[in-house]
Amino acid sequence: MTKAHEVVAAYWAAAEARDWAAFGALLADDVVYRGPQTREQVRGREAYIRFNREGFDYDWHVTVLRIVGEDQHAASWTDFAGREGTQPGLCFFDLDDDGRIAMINDFWPDPYELPASRAHLVERY
């Protein structure tokens, strides 16, 4: 397992445990979080811990489906169970030279209707 893989595994374990001290220790001081779908951004460890503690005011749980780590990059695919049911979450992480998380790009894809243009080329599962 790569270092980047281990860091992201620890990140999700700390988030699920609400262990914000352990969570914060994995982050660079000037970590940047981005949600490209809303174009929201959070800068800095304290602000990002607060975002996670206070931004989701319901009993959420995260299950890791995949973590892939290579050099200073990693990606995770999780299932996030929250107020509106279970939704996949996809994150891309960039680590700094000290192995701390410096950048997170976080994606939350919603269900959508299968386009008619390719319906004849697929089956449903």
The answer to whether 26 touches 101, Cβ cutoff 8 Å, is yes
Token couple for 95: 């680590």
Strands 85-95 and 101-107: antiparallel
Among residues 17, 19, 25, 37, which is the contact residue for its own copies, using CB under 8 A?
Answer: 37
- Residue with structure tokens 């919603």? 110
Would you count residue 108 as binding its own copies (CB under 8 A)?
A: yes
Stretch that binds its own copies, among 9-17, 18-26, 63-71 (CB under 8 A): 63-71
Q: Is 51 in the site for its own copies (CB under 8 A)?
A: yes
Residue 54: how many other CB atoms lie within 10 Å: 8
Q: In residues, how long is the chain?
A: 125
Q: Tokens 């891309």 appear where?
A: 92
Decide if residue 44 touches its own copies (CB under 8 A).
no
Using rule CB under 8 A, residue 47 touches its own copies: yes
> Radius of gyration over alpha carbons of the chain, in Å?
16
Which of the stretches 14-22, 23-31, 61-69 binds its own copies when contact is defined by CB under 8 A? 61-69
Interface contacts to its own copies, rule CB under 8 A? 1-2, 4-5, 34-43, 47, 50-51, 54-57, 66, 68-70, 73-75, 77, 88, 90, 92, 105, 107-114, 117-118, 121-125
